[in-house]
């Protein structure tokens, strides 16, 4: 059993059907465009997922140079690559079984990379000790809890207050489960997906106290920690706050924190690699987890190498450092530009409101559709936000995700749009959405 935040990956059957229909639609439209079928657009703008490279963002050069040298070791002797890239690639290949990225690694991850990830966590958290034995590298964290009998108990953020989390809402959600299930875990996403809020240190402390009081296991999804852009926002990990709170919390509250090279600043989604750090688990449970991981194959070795780069980017004085900083700063500047442009555009349209974002790579505007549009959606057997996304894709060539997939509060409707995309594509997207939305409101008013 689990309590889940607004990003609930376990959709009800109806929402799964609607999502499947939306994906069939995008496949059909892409095929029609390839066949030369005339449409009001020449290409689809796909901002449905958090995949920045799909939206047109370029990968970080340092990551790709190291991957290239590891895949083709002859490049290690090529002076066209910076010396720190060649040195890192040579060291990583030496850590691979057989000296090749084509070999299996240990199932929980290459030991040297696991240790460096542990050191990265300690640096990030102000020296709070991280034990490599508690870290597991994995190709994904979205295991099917539903197959294990898990039931989501939703709680909601306060949209009007910038998607704040109120403790009264956690208490309400927990009380609502009485007689239905026995909640054992609290799922948190910080920075938020799709809401874009960044939790304050005080909010994190309150959540930890709540989890301690109610004996809940905290699952902290922190994969967007490197994409915080709010002027007054700062990412602080659950692990750090837990350590700073001291006993009894630091010794007793169970925590699993997740981070990934597949999301955020690196955005290497196709490499499918991240880590989980487990804190305060019973030794018997840790032994069971080790056994379970030992049954599976390792995470992709190239993904583990990308994770190593995420944990250990170029440092001042390294040949690759200036260009790495230039590229990462460009990504942050792009996020700030795009979120401001999206807020201006969406909030200027009747029937659309969007809260300011502080981090992550999404905006989550709210739809206030006319009754006739809602009735039309009902007649089509779709939720209002899915109806909106279906028509936005068909008429304007913009692929967004309906808010119903993310456990939105009953009676509200949203769409999720990835803003980690080149500014020119964002401008075209906003132009298309503005035109489509204006016509839809006119047709159904």
Provide the pLDDT for residue 147: 67
Per DSSP, helices labelled H in 36-82 are 61-71
In terms of C-beta distances under 8 Å and separation of at least 24 residues, what long-range contacts does 97-104 make, across chains too? 101/70, 101/71, 101/301, 101/302, 101/305, 102/301, 103/301, 104/297, 104/298, 104/301
Q: Which residues contact 308 (CB under 8 A, 6 or more apart)?
A: 92, 113, 116, 117
| Rounded Cα gap, residues 261 and 111, in angstroms | 17
| Rounded Cα gap, residues 215 and 203, in angstroms | 18
Compare 65 and 180 and report the one with higher pLDDT: 65
* pLDDT category of residue 4 using cuts at 50, 70 and 90: very low
Provide the pLDDT for residue 392: 98
What SS3 state is found at 180? coil
Compare 15 and 353 and report the one with higher pLDDT: 353
CA 151 to chain centre: 22
Q: Which run of H or of E encompasses 413? A: strand 413-418
Contact 252, 218 (CB under 8 A): no
Find the helix packing angle between 384-396 and 371-379, rounded to 10°. Answer: 90
Q: How far is CA 184 from CA 150, 187, 209, 216, in A?
A: 10, 10, 15, 5
Domains with residue ranges and CATH for the chain: 2-58+334-444 (3.90.1150.10), 90-311 (3.40.640.10)
Segment 324-342 mean pLDDT:
96
Give this prediction's pTM: 0.92
| Rounded Cα gap, residues 221 and 430, in angstroms | 29
Provide the pLDDT for residue 1: 28
In whole numbers, what is the pLDDT of the chain averaged over residues?
A: 93
Choose the weakest-confidence range: 128-142, 276-290, 367-381: 128-142
Segment 98-125 mean pLDDT:
96
Sign of the Cα pseudo-torsion (420, 422, 428, 431, in order): positive
Query: Is residue 347 predicted with pLDDT exceeding 70?
Result: yes
DSSP secondary-structure letter at 220? E
What SS3 state is found at 52? coil
Query: Is residue 221 predicted with pLDDT exceeding 90?
Result: yes
- Summarize pLDDT for 245-299 with one digit per residue, the tens: 999 999 999 999 999 999 989 999 999 999 999 999 999 999 998 888 877 789 9
Q: Which run of H or of E encompasses 274? A: strand 274-279
Query: Is residue 142 predicted with pLDDT exceeding 70?
Result: no
- Summarize pLDDT for 423-441 with one digit per residue, the tens: 999 999 999 999 999 999 9
Q: Which run of H or of E encompasses 19? A: helix 13-34
């Amino acid at each position: 059993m689990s309590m889940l935040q607004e990003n609930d990956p376990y959709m009800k059957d109806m929402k799964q059907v609607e999502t499947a229909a939306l994906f069939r639609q995008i496949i059909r439209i892409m095929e029609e465009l390839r066949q030369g079928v005339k449409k009001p657009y020449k290409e689809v703008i796909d901002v449905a997922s958090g995949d920045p490279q799909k939206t047109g963002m370029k990968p970080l050069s340092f990551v790709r140079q190291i991957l290239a040298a590891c895949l083709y070791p002859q490049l290690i002797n090529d002076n066209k690559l910076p010396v720190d890239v060649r040195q890192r690639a040579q060291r990583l290949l030496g850590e691979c079984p057989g000296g090749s990225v084509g070999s299996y690694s240990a199932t929980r991850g290459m030991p040297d990379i696991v240790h460096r990830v542990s050191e990265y966590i300690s640096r990030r958290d102000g020296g709070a000790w991280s034990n490599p034995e508690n870290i597991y590298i994995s190709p994904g964290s979205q295991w099917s809890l539903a197959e294990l009998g898990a039931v989501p108990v939703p709680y909601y953020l306060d949209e009007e207050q910038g998607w704040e989390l109120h403790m009264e809402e956690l208490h309400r959600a927990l009380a609502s489960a009485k007689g239905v299930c026995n909640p054992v875990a609290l799922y948190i996403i910080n920075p938020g997906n799709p809401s874009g809020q960044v939790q304050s240190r005080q909010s994190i402390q309150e959540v930890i106290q709540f989890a301690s009081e109610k004996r809940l296991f905290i699952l902290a999804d922190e994969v967007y920690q490197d994409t915080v852009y709010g002027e007054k926002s700062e990412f602080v990990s659950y692990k750090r706050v837990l350590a700073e709170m001291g006993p009894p919390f630091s010794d007793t509250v169970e925590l699993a924190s997740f981070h990934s090279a597949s999301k955020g600043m690196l955005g290497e989604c196709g490499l499918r690699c991240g880590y989980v750090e487990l804190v305060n688990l019973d030794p018997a449970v840790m032994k069971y987890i080790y056994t379970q991981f030992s049954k599976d194959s390792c995470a992709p070795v190239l993904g583990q190498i990308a994770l190593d780069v995420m944990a250990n980017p170029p440092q001042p004085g390294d040949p690759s450092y200036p260009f790495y900083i230039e590229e990462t700063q460009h990504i942050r500047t792009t996020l700030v530009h795009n979120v401001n442009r999206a807020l201006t555009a969406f909030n200027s349209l009747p029937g659309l409101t969007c809260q300011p974002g502080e981090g992550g790579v999404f905006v989550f505007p709210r739809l206030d559709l006319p009754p006739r549009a809602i009735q039309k959606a009902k007649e089509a057997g779709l939720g209002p936000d899915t109806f909106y996304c279906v028509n936005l894709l068909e008429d304007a060539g913009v692929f967004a995700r309906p808010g119903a997939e993310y456990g939105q509060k009953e009676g509200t409707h949203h769409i999720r749009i990835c803003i980690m995309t080149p500014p020119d594509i964002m401008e075209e997207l906003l132009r298309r959405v503005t035109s489509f939305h204006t016509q839809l409101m006119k047709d159904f008013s």
